[in-house]
Amino acid sequence: MNEEMMTAQERLGDVVLESVKPQNAHSMMNEGIFENSQMHDAHAQLPSSPVYYVHTLGCQMNAHDSERIAGVLEDEGYIKATQEQIDAHDVDLIVLNTCAVRENATSRMYGTLGQYAQLKRERPHMQIAVGGCMAQKDRKRITEKAPWVDAVFGTKNIGSLTTLLKEAQKTQHSQVEVATELSQFPSELPTVRSSQVSAWVSISVGCNNTCTFCIVPAVRGKERDRRPGDVLAEIESCVSRGIKEVTLLGQNVNSYGYSTGDRYAFSKLLRACGQIEGLERVRFTSPHPAAFTDDVIDAMAQTPNVMPQLHMPLQSGSDKILRAMRRSYRIEKFMAILDNVRAAMPHAQITTDIIVGFPGETEEDFQATMDAVRRARFTSAFIFEYSPRPGTPAATMEQVPSEVAHDRFERLHALQEEISTQIMAEQRGKNVEIMITEAKGFKDNKTQRVSGRDQGGNLVHVSVPQGYEKPRVGDFVTCTVTDTAAHYLICDPRPEQGDVYDVRH
C-alpha cells in the first residue's frame, strides 16, 4: 500500500497549511527572516497542554510511525489539534515526519519547512520538529538549512522527541538525536491510532536487501523481527478496543523469521491471526518476490480473515535491469508467483510498484516491462520515474535522460490505466463486501455516499437506498456494484430491482 491508496481518514497529517505562502529555506536565510531571538524566544513559553499537529510525508510505514509520535506526545500531555486549529495555524508544535525514498519527497520536506518558517515568525512560541527517514539521512543539515527547526529525531528516536523539545526550549538551540542502532521497537511506545477500526501492526523494522536504488536500509537499518507473541498480543489488544482490520507491516514481511532460521514464520503468523476472535480482516505489505513461498499462498487461501489482496513490487520486467537493481528474482519467477496466487485465490487483487528510467534501461528493457504488465494484469500499479538517491549505487550509474524516463512513464501509465479500467469493470453486477472506513465520502454532500474497502482492497463508494439503514464506520455492507472507474467501485443499489444491500455490524 502507498499513500496514494489511502482514503482521507486512512492518512495521517494529510492537511498542508495551504494559506501560508511557500518559501524555501535558502530564501528565508537570505532575507534574514530569523535572527536567534526570533528562532528561539526565551520568553515564549508553551501552554500547560500544548496542541500538536503531525504532518506525514511518505508511505504507510511513516503513517504508522506518526501514530507512535502522537502517542509519545499525548503521554506527555500534548493535545491533538482539531481541523479548525490546523486551518487557523493555532498550534504549539508541528512535527514533520519525512520520507527519503524519492527526490520529490525531499523537495516537499524543505518546501514545507519554508512554509513553517513564516508560521514560526508569526508565533515565536511554536516549536517545529522533523523526524522520519530524511531526519535519519540529513541529520544536522536540516538545522543548518532550516535553523528555525527545534528538534531533529531519527527513525529510531521517536521516544526521545519530548526530551529534545524540552531541551530546545531550555537552551534556545536546535537539538538533534539520530541513533544508528535500534534499542527499542517503536511498537513498545504509546500509540494513538488514526482509525477507529483499522490498525497497522509492525512485525519487523529495517531491511537486509541491497537494492541499488533504495535508501531504506541506510535510514531504517538492518531487519529486526518482533517476537510472534508480541505481535499477536498487540493485535489482540487492538481487537479488544474495536479494531476489526489489521495490516501487518514490514519492509519485507515474508522474510519474517529468517533471522531465527524459521522460514515458515510468516505463514504461521497469518494462520495465528485467523484464530483471533473478532478480527475480521488481515492484510500485509510488502512482500519480496524472492522470499514469496507457497506456504504463504496456502495460508492466505486457507485463513478466512486473510484478505485476497497482494501488493508485490515488480520494479522492472527486464531481467537485465532486475540484475542491475540487485533484485534477487527474475521475471519468470515473479509471473509464477502470480499464477500460483490466482490458482489458489481466483479473485485476488494484485498491485505492484514499477520504476521506469532506471540507469541503463533501454527501449528494449522498457518494452519487456510493458509486456510484463500486460501478462500480469495488475489491478493497479504505482509507477515512478527513477529518482537517484545520494549514497546509493544506482546514483553513480549512467542515468537515463529525464525526458526519456518521463515518456516511458506516460506510456506505461496509459497501459496500466487501460488494464485497471478493464479489471474494475469486471466487477459490475457483482456483490462485494465493504468495510466502511469513512462515514462521509469526498462528494458526500452531493451523493450521500459512504466509503470503504472491499476484500480485495478496492476503494468503494456506497449510497444508501432510501428507507434503508445507513452504515457507520466499522460496519460491513454487502451490496451490488453498479458502476466502476479505473481506481474505485460505485454501489448505488436499487433493492426493488434486485440489487443487494445488507448491513452487518
Distances (CA, A) of 159 to 65, 170, 187, 189, 356: 11, 19, 11, 7, 38
Give the cell for residue 85.
486549529
Give the cell for residue 59.
508511505
Buried b / exposed e along 410-443 (16+ C-beta atoms within 10 A): eebeebbeebbeebbeebeeeebbbbbbbbebee
More confident residue, 144 or 425: 425
Mean pLDDT for the stretch of residues 270-289: 97
Task: Judge whether 99 is annotated as a binding position.
Answer: yes
Instruction: Express as a percent the part of the chain with pLDDT over 90.
Output: 71
**pLDDT for 140:** 78
Candidates 428, 432, 427, 440; CA nearest to 471 is 440
**CA 491 to the chain's CA centroid:** 26
Q: Are 357 and 383 contacting, i.e. CB atoms less than 8 angstroms apart?
A: no
DSSP, res 45: P
**pLDDT for 443:** 59
Checking if the pLDDT of 343 tops 80, the result is: yes
**pLDDT for 219:** 83
SS3 readout for 87-133: HCCCCCEEEEEECCCCHHHHHHHHHHHHHHHHHHHHCCCCEEEEEEH
Give CA–CA dist 226/257, Å, rounded: 9
User: Using alpha carbons only, what angle is made at residue 243 by residues 242 and 249, rounded to the nearest 5 degrees?
Assistant: 160
Give the cell for residue 227.
517476537
SS3 readout for 254-300: HHCCHHHCCCCHHHHHHHHHCCCCCCCEEEEECCCHHHCCHHHHHHH
Candidates 472, 484, 364, 494; CA nearest to 423 is 484
Q: Are 203 and 249 contacting, i.e. CB atoms less than 8 angstroms apart?
A: yes
Give CA–CA dist 84/15, Å, rounded: 11
Task: Judge whether 214 is annotated as a binding position.
Answer: yes
Distances (CA, A) of 383 to 216, 355, 398, 407: 18, 6, 21, 12
More confident residue, 255 or 216: 255
Report the DSSP pairing between strands 151-153 and 309-311. unpaired
Q: Which domains does the chain have, with CATH numbers?
A: 3-177 (3.40.50.280), 195-307 (3.30.750.210), 431-504 (2.40.50)
Candidates 203, 292, 288, 227; CA nearest to 252 is 288
Task: Judge whether 211 is annotated as a binding position.
Answer: yes
Q: pLDDT tens digits for 407-452?
A: 999 999 999 999 999 999 999 999 999 999 987 655 555 667 999 9
Mean pLDDT for the stretch of residues 344-368: 98
Buried b / exposed e along 10-45 (16+ C-beta atoms within 10 A): bebbeeebeebeebbbeebbeeebbeeeebbbeeee
Checking if the pLDDT of 105 tops 80, the result is: no
Q: pLDDT tens digits for 237-269?
A: 999 999 999 999 998 999 999 988 899 999 999
Which of 26-30, 48-52, 420-424 has the lowest average pLDDT? 26-30
**pLDDT for 431:** 98
Which of 195-204, 211-220, 285-294, 484-493 has the lowest average pLDDT? 211-220
Reduced to 3 DSSP states, what percent helix, strand and coil does the chain have, rounded to the nearest 5? 40, 20, 40
**pLDDT for 22:** 38
Give CA–CA dist 74/93, Å, rounded: 12
Q: pLDDT tens digits for 323-334?
A: 999 999 999 999
pTM given for the model:
0.87
Q: Are 3 and 59 contacting, i.e. CB atoms less than 8 angstroms apart?
A: yes
**pLDDT for 187:** 73
Distances (CA, A) of 143 to 65, 108, 148: 22, 16, 7
Checking if the pLDDT of 24 tops 70, the result is: no
**pLDDT for 42:** 42
Give CA–CA dist 257/223, Å, rounded: 10
**pLDDT for 181:** 73
**pLDDT for 396:** 96
Candidates 476, 464, 380; CA nearest to 424 is 380
Which of 137-151, 443-457, 462-476 has the lowest average pLDDT? 443-457
**pLDDT for 190:** 87
Task: Judge whether 207 is annotated as a binding position.
Answer: yes
